[in-house]
């Protein structure tokens, strides 16, 4: 049950400790090519500038691990290390210390504690809370759609299921965020292949659309195609696009992927399927996803949850 990863994600940018830097050059704090990440820990400024927000956060986590060898990472910090979704750049580094009487924050660090025993593990010299604890902690704290994305990813990557997550939640005496966590954890499935798909599934439910089948295979002209979302009785397919699948770093590969995608969609349309497409931003913003499904002929079967839809991507824990 207390799954531990085999490896952790490395820092996306090099880290240089001031105490170990060569003495021939200027001190790191005076070197304009270097950026201070944490007291006594620096990185190359150009490398930092090229990182996405969640990658910068992972650099910050590794810098803290260098500065505090005894730290036990939890919440978003542990999620970043094990490759679970992190949204934007979290404001705080999160660590766990069960010896404390209460949780406390200082600077950009939050130290969590718990009245319940908390299992931890060590990988490559860095200590983290175990995967079920990471998932439950984030399901309590994150907006529900983002908590679902974390739970889905853990289910897919580590082979855990909703029942195991709920068991860990119910073992804990902490009542904070229980209802929010239950909503996300009961819906965790391994079929969602990206955070965009998980968030889309939440938005589809809150818009009042019927529940879709996930990762359905379609046999068309001797070939097998798979859809993200499918409503067979309505002949509607939904696709949550992520730019990474098109390999945009390689123009030739991107062009080929786009051609293959169009051929696939044309083949499905010839078989009578109506295809709705949206991207990650369209799911967070709700309107693009909802309008695409309505245009494809899908209709809501219950009243929308307007409160949930108004706060899909509102995450005060990140910049």
Judge whether residue 7 has pLDDT over 70.
Answer: yes
Question: What is the 3 state secondary structure string of 63-103?
Answer: HHHHHCCCCEECHHHHHHHHCCCCCCCECCEEEECCCCCCC
Q: For the chain, what percentages of helix, strand and coil (3-state, to nearest 5) are there?
A: 45, 20, 35
Contact 39, 28 (CB under 8 A): no
Global confidence as pTM: 0.91
pLDDT tier, 248 (very low <50, low <70, confident <90, very high otherwise): very low
Q: CA 155, 159, 161 angle in degrees (round to 5)?
A: 55
- pLDDT value of residue 253: 58
Structure tokens at 254: 């991107």
Q: What are phi and psi of 86, to 5 degrees?
A: -125, 135
- Rounded Cα distance between 276 and 218, Å, is 16
- Which tokens hold the place of 264? 């696939």
Nearest alpha carbon to residue 86 among 58, 109, 123: 58
The pLDDT score that the predictor gives to residue 243 is: 47
Average pLDDT of span 117-146: 96
Q: Are 253 and 241 in contact (CB under 8 A)?
A: no
Residue 247: band (very low, low, confident or very high) from pLDDT cuts 50, 70, 90: very low
Q: Tokens standing for 293?
A: 């499904």
Rounded Cα gap, residues 194 and 200, in angstroms: 10
Whether the pLDDT of residue 266 is over 80: the answer is: no
Q: CA 293, CA 160: separation in Å to the nearest integer?
A: 31
How, if at all, do strands 236-241 and 41-44 pair? Answer: unpaired
């Amino acid at each position: 049950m207390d799954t531990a990863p085999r490896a952790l994600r490395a820092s996306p940018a090099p880290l240089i400790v001031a105490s170990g830097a060569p003495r021939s050059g200027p001190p790191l704090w005076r070197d304009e090519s270097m950026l201070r990440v944490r007291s006594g820990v620096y990185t190359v400024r150009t490398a930092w500038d090229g990182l996405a927000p969640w990658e910068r956060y992972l650099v910050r986590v590794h810098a803290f691990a260098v500065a505090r060898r005894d730290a036990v990472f939890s919440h978003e910090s542990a999620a970043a290390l094990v490759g679970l979704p992190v949204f934007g750049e979290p404001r705080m580094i999160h660590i766990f210390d069960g010896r404390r009487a209460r949780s406390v924050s200082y600077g950009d660090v939050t130290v969590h504690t718990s009245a319940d025993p908390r299992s931890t593990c060590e990988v490559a010299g860095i200590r983290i809370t175990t995967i079920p604890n990471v998932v439950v902690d984030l399901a309590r704290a994150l907006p529900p759609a983002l908590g679902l994305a974390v739970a889905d990813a853990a289910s897919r990557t580590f082979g855990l299921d909703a029942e195991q997550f709920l068991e860990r939640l119910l073992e804990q005496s902490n009542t904070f965020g229980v209802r929010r966590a239950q909503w996300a954890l009961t819906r965790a499935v391994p079929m969602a292949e990206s955070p965009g798909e998980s968030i889309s599934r939440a938005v589809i439910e809150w818009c009042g659309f019927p529940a879709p089948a996930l990762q359905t295979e379609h046999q068309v002209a001797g070939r097998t195609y798979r859809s993200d979302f499918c409503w067979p009785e309505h002949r509607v397919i939904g696709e949550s696009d992520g730019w990474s699948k098109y390999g945009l770093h390689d123009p030739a590969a991107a062009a080929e992927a786009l051609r293959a995608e169009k051929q696939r969609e044309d083949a499905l349309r010839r078989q009578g399927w109506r295809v709705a497409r949206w991207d990650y931003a369209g799911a967070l913003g709700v309107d693009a996803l909802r309008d695409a499904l309505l245009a494809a002929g899908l209709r809501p079967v219950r009243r929308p949850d307007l409160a949930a839809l108004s706060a899909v991507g509102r995450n005060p824990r990140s910049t």
